[in-house]
Structure 1
Amino acid sequence: MKVLHVITGLAAGGAEQQLRSLLPYLRARCEVAVLTGHGVVAEAIERSGVPVHHVGMRGNRDLRAVGRLARLMRGRRYDVVHTHLYRACVYGRLAARLANVPAIVATEHSIGREHVEGRRLTRSIRALYLASELLGHLTVAVSPTVADRLARWGVPRSRIVVVPNGVDGAAFGFDAALRRRTRERLGLPESAFVIGGVGRLEPGKRFDTLIRALPPLEHAVLLLVGSGSCEPRLRELAREAGAEHRVIFAGESPDVRALMSAMDVLAAPSMEETFGVAVVEALACGLPVLYGTCPAVEDLPPGSAPGARRVEPHRLAEELSGLAARPPRRLPPPDAVRLYDVRRQADQLERLYLRLLGAEPTEE
């Protein structure tokens, strides 16, 4: 079985890292097509031996990208095309239909209540999405929360399958030696209380609330992992708060484990998430987590993630202050990490591919 994963970009975002984590566990022969840019995740995927095809799309209205994608799909004769993220879903499903690909699947990672991938939802964005959804065979929702949002948009429940994101827990296990090396590299003393934020530096992530919480925390440092349009404003905000020397912008990194090992707590203040991969990765690394909203935790049975606590935005500074006063020890990975094992995700997706192709999965 030959599968082409089509994704909008391959910078170090959640969906992109999720695809990178998944690929080694799929038994199918996989290749990747990226519409725009290159990025650290593309380089990591290529180093693993998976071919990455660069479509060279220029802007949201570059319709020539559809033709280039369709020619790639016809020429390499894929059995399945699996698209990820809004733009790739719209263009990739159309190209796959033109290329007569037998099975067309999309994973919806980023539909929020009011935004999709950082863009405000409009009637035209929704209409285009629904029109392109009809060109595929099934849409995968990464959580029941996303499945409900898709259904409210108008996608029939019969065309939605929930396959949660997966995490390789062992790949994010805490490493004390790695913590020391990473802190030395970043210039952080061992006594510093390090608050971590992982994700795109975009408005919806609300990392500005973490910067505003810093001034009263004398020995705290904020380590932001990711890049995005808000970085200049966040840097300015740190200067205004007199905390610029206590905010580290680590940028995009393929080695999130090292940076999480250097942290003492992960803070995820977003109030609109579709899953929360960084939260599960942090739990695998033994970190306590303070979050605004996280379907990955909220969709599980009570007690599955005891290290993660939901905190209202106005109480975030108070909660961080309490943790800084009594830095917590590393926690054992909770049940949530096992429940979201990436191997389970890979198995579910491959069974889905085989079902769409009319083949029965073989038992091992």
Structure 2
Amino acid sequence: MRVLHIITGLGVGGAEQQLRLVLRHLPVHCDVVTLTNPGPVADGLRADGVRVTHLGMNGNRDLAALPRLVRLIRAGRYDLVHTHLYRACVYGRIAARLARVRASVATEHSLGSAEIEGRPLSRGTRALYLATERLGAATVAVSGTVAARLRAWGVPAARIHVVPNGIDAARFRHDSAGRAVTRTALGLPPDTFVVGGVGRLVPGKRFDVLVRAVAALPGAHLLLVGEGPEREALRALAVRLGAAGRVHLLGEQGSAAGPGSPGLPALLGAMDVFVSTSREEAFGLAVVEALAAGLPVLHGPCPAIEDLPADLAPGAVRISGEPDELTSVLRAHRVPGARRLDPPPAVGHYDIARSAAHLMGVYTHVLSPARPTERTRP
């Protein structure tokens, strides 16, 4: 089987890194096309031996990109096209149909109730999404919550397959010696209480709430891992609150360390508690990674946790997301010498090999000469 994955861009982001990880576990030949921004994840894919092509698309209305994409699909003689992120799903589904590929699949990584990929949903965005969704054979939802949103939009239930995001839990296993090294590299004393957050620095992540909560906790430090347009606003907020020396904006970090960078697993190892303050999430991958690192987790809306029975993630606690409440809860977690938690069963549920196997089930389903109508379930 030959599969072409089409994605909007390959900068550091959850969908982009999830694509790289799942390709390591798919037992089929896969190539990748990025419409724009062949960033760090493109370099990582190439290092893994994956062929990556940059289409060089100039904006959402660059219609000249469509025939180029069709020619590329035809030349590759692909059995299936798999699209990721909104722009790639729109153009990729049309191109796959024009190239007469046997089937196309799209993964919906970041559909919220009022936003998609961090941008407000408009009537036109929704109409175009639904029109092109009909051109594919199936839509993969990364959580049951996203599947419910797709059904509410009018996507037929039989076309929706739930394949959760996955992680390589072994990469996040806690290393006490590595924790000391990372804290030293960051200039953090061994006994300092360290709070962490991971994600794009955008309004929907509500990292300003986390900055305010930590600023009100004397001596506590905050590690924020991610990049985005809110970076300077968050820095200025920390200055106004007198916490500039305790709020560390660390930029983008992959799951593996890069030159001069500790890497995300090492940074999670340096934390004492992880907080997700997002307004809403399609999955909540960073929360699962934090659980794999043995961290107690405080979270807002998070399908990765809420779609499972509560006893599968005992170290995860739901919070309302107000700064005063968060400060109070963090103070309760400030326990000297607290031991690392064992990764809960939820971490095993989201094993990347398991997710890849489910995805292969979807591929087999849509390429079957006589497809059944029932959905593939994780």
Q: Tell me which interval the TM-score lies in, with the shorter structure as reference length.
A: over 0.9
Q: Please report how far the alpha carbon of residue 327 of structure 1 lies from its aligned counterpart in structure 2 after TM superposition.
A: 6.0
What is the letter of the counterpart of residue 346 of structure 2? A
SS of 1:92's partner is helix
Comparing 183-192 with 136-145, which one deviates more in the overlay?
183-192
Partner of 2:98: 98
CA displacement, residues 62-117 of structure 1 (integer Å, 9 cap, x when unaligned): 12222222121111111111111111111111111111111200010111011101
Partner of 1:233: 233
Alignment partners' CA distance in 2, 1:125 and 1:96: 20
| Contact 1:193-1:327 within 8 A present in 2 as well | no
| Contact 2:182-2:270 within 8 A present in 1 as well | yes
Partner of 2:315: 307
Partner of 1:130: 130
Q: Please report how far the alpha carbon of residue 7 of structure 1 lies from its aligned counterpart in structure 2 after TM superposition.
A: 1.1
Q: Please report how far the alpha carbon of residue 184 of structure 1 lies from its aligned counterpart in structure 2 after TM superposition.
A: 2.1
User: Which sections of structure 1, spanning at least 5 residues, go unmatched?
Assistant: none
Given the alignment, which residue of 287, 290, 294 partners 1:282?
290
Comparing 290-299 with 234-243, which one deviates more in the overlay?
234-243
CA displacement, residues 307-346 of structure 1 (integer Å, 9 cap, x when unaligned): 1110111221211122125563211111001111111111
User: Which sections of structure 2, spanning at least 5 residues, go unmatched?
Assistant: 255-262, 371-378
Verify: 1:348 aligned to 2:362, yes or no.
no
Aligned length: 360
SS of 1:338's partner is helix
- For 1:198-217, what aligned pairs fall within 5 Å after superposition? 198-217=198-217
| Contact 1:40-1:253 within 8 A present in 2 as well | no
Deviating 4+ runs (over 4 angstroms): none
Comparing 55-64 with 260-269, which one deviates more in the overlay?
55-64
Partner of 1:173: 173
- For 1:51-90, what aligned pairs fall within 5 Å after superposition? 51-90=51-90
| Contact 2:215-2:238 within 8 A present in 1 as well | no
| Contact 1:264-1:327 within 8 A present in 2 as well | no
Q: Please report how far the alpha carbon of residue 236 of structure 1 lies from its aligned counterpart in structure 2 after TM superposition.
A: 1.3
SS of 2:269's partner is helix
Q: Please report how far the alpha carbon of residue 271 of structure 1 lies from its aligned counterpart in structure 2 after TM superposition.
A: 2.5
Partner of 2:328: 318
TM-score normalised to structure 1 length: 0.96
Q: Please report how far the alpha carbon of residue 141 of structure 1 lies from its aligned counterpart in structure 2 after TM superposition.
A: 0.6
| Contact 1:40-1:252 within 8 A present in 2 as well | no
Superposition CA RMSD, Å? 1.4
SS of 2:200's partner is coil
Partner of 1:21: 21
Alignment partners' CA distance in 1, 2:73 and 2:12: 26
| Contact 1:217-1:324 within 8 A present in 2 as well | no
SS of 2:311's partner is coil
Partner of 1:160: 160
CA displacement, residues 154-174 of structure 1 (integer Å, 9 cap, x when unaligned): 111111111111111112111
Q: Please report how far the alpha carbon of residue 302 of structure 1 lies from its aligned counterpart in structure 2 after TM superposition.
A: 2.3
| Contact 2:194-2:272 within 8 A present in 1 as well | yes
What is the letter of the counterpart of residue 118 of structure 1? G
What is the letter of the counterpart of residue 193 of structure 1? F
SS of 1:155's partner is coil
